[in-house]
A and B are shown apart, each in its own frame.
Chain A
Amino acid sequence: MQVGSKTHLKRMGLVLVAILALVVIGRIVLTPGTFGRYGHYRAGAIDDELARPLVHETDASCKECHEWDASYHSKGKHKVVSCEFCHGPAATHVKDGKVIGHLEVQKGGDINRLCLRCHNKAVKARPHNEKVIKLVLYPDHLKKQEVEPDHLCNQCHLVHAPLEYIKMADKMFPMLKDKEGKNVQ
């Protein structure tokens, strides 16, 4: 090698420039287009999340077709219970305005299980506030109301408006209640 030659320096410089170029190109190619729009993340992920389809809708969606059911559901004590909780989500029933499947209707023993999910007094942690939830002991409630022990909740309580029939009966037979509203023999 001749003294004073700078070829090795030039070669080293070229290699360095090539590496730098590769890094820059790699960075441009590999970084997602929306990266850094709002912060150190891919902003496109927000749109991905927004594209998630709705499964549940609202009670208002149910009302569009089931107006009659909604009319008395919205007046009773159970207006706060969403339709979809008992019957299943709207996405399995309607798509683009067309019926694609039928939702379940709770029957038999399932009715009691469903009612006791909220109203079982034996689960001690529930708030003892009549305005929040009316609690009953099961099957003591059946005994107290003097009905058969195998009665289902929905034989007295209309599930969509639980006090509808009770109120109707009270109106028809006022002599069965004393002044404090308790049943008389």
Chain B
Amino acid sequence: MSSRSKARPQVIDKEEARRLIDRDRRSFIKKVLGGAIAGSLLMVLEAGGELLPPEQIPGIRGEKYDITKRRFAFVVDITKCIGCGSCCVADKREYNVPDHFARTWIERYLIAEDGEVFVDSPDGGLHGFTPRTDIDKPIRDAFFVPKLCNMCKEAPCVQVCPVGATFKTPDGFVIIDYKRCVGCAYCVQACPYGVRYIHPVLHTADKCTWCYHRVRRGLLPACVNACPTKARKFGDLNDKDSEVYKILHGPSILTVLKKEMGTEPNLYYLGARQEVI
């Protein structure tokens, strides 16, 4: 303010004083009014939104979200999965998934010396794993494989839905319209990865959505936050600083499940052996 920057004289006459007070009063009122308007606006904005933790995926909040300009990818690092089942627990809580169903689960692979493959997934890994005692063959390789929706670019489930209840959003998520789904389970049969099931309460199809409601709020999927070894990674491929961008554009050997099906998944695996299906 000009009144502040100018050094005030020690002794001032009445006219000068009034002028100064008037100017200050004007600026005072201006500031108060401005503050009040800004404050009330803030309150309106606060009331409309919800209290959210700090953003985890940069650039989702803030400017208007352009649904057509996003490309998300999921990377699962098999060499880091310890089979603790944190992801399954987080997933079950986030969506209140009914018992004996899972939107994401963990499979345990044991490969014997003679090449025989043993796969098990007790309750989807929800309660963790206990040592397997029923195999008397020497094991040459053992690892865990977390499974979830592959978010195919050419999704068979979308293609077969007779009522258009499952679809691919412009930002690449395959999600379900629970109001339209008639529960015919055609998609359950069509999915080559077995990620779909018929929800016993809703009587509609249901599956992993990579936590679309969290992603659009700028938060990572629940399973990614829960994973203690960072075996699960999620991010935007348009963001060159994101971890998934660096992995997908780096020297790591990445695989997708059932490549020959031509579904073009957006879910990539690091360190997957050829036995993984």
Contact = CB atoms under 8 A, between A and B. Distances in A.
Interface of A: 38-42, 45-46, 48-61, 78, 80-82, 84-85, 88-89, 96-97, 116-118, 120, 122-127, 129, 132-133
Interface string B89-115: 110011110000000000011100000
Contact of A133 (B82, B170, B222): B82
Contact of A82 (B95, B131, B226): B226
A172 B212 CA distance: 50
A49 B109 contact: no
A50 B216 contact: yes
A122 B131 contact: yes
Nearest to B215: A50
Contacts of A117: 84-85, 128
A40 B53 contact: no
A124 B53 CA distance: 37
Contacts of B80: 127, 132
B267 interface: no
B53 A89 contact: no
Nearest to A46: B169
Interface string B63-94: 00001000000000001111111100110011
A125 B212 contact: no
Contacts of A82: 86, 90, 225-226, 228
A82 B56 CA distance: 14
B84 A60 contact: no
Contact of A125 (B83, B96, B175): B83
Q: Is the interface of A mostly helix, strand, loop or mixed?
A: loop
Contacts of B166: 41
Given A54-B219, A58-B53, A125 B179 contact: no
A52 B84 CA distance: 27
Given A41-B164, A125-B108, A132-B80, A58 B225 contact: yes
A118 B164 contact: no
Nearest to B54: A60
Given A52-B213, A122-B131, A40 B164 contact: yes
A48 B180 CA distance: 12
Nearest to A118: B84
Contacts of B67: 38, 46
B27 interface: no
Contact of A58 (B83, B128, B219): B219
Interface stretch (B13-21, B137-145, B257-265): B137-145
Contact of A85 (B86, B109, B216): B86
Contacts of A45: 165, 167, 175-180
B3 interface: no
Give the interface centre of A50, A97, A126, A133 by most chain B CB atoms within 10 Å.
A126
Query: Which 3 A/B pairs are nearest by Cβ-Cβ distance?
Result: A45-B177, A41-B167, A125-B142
Centre residue among A54, A82, A97 by max chain B CB count within 10 A: A54
A49 B82 contact: no
A48 B143 contact: no
A89 B230 CA distance: 19
Contact of A118 (B139, B168, B225, B228): B228
A53 B132 CA distance: 38
B130 interface: yes
B143 A125 contact: yes
A53 B82 CA distance: 30
12 contacts: A39-B170, A40-B167, A41-B164, A41-B180, A49-B213, A56-B214, A84-B90, A96-B50, A118-B82, A118-B128, A125-B142, A127-B82
B189 interface: no
B129 interface: yes
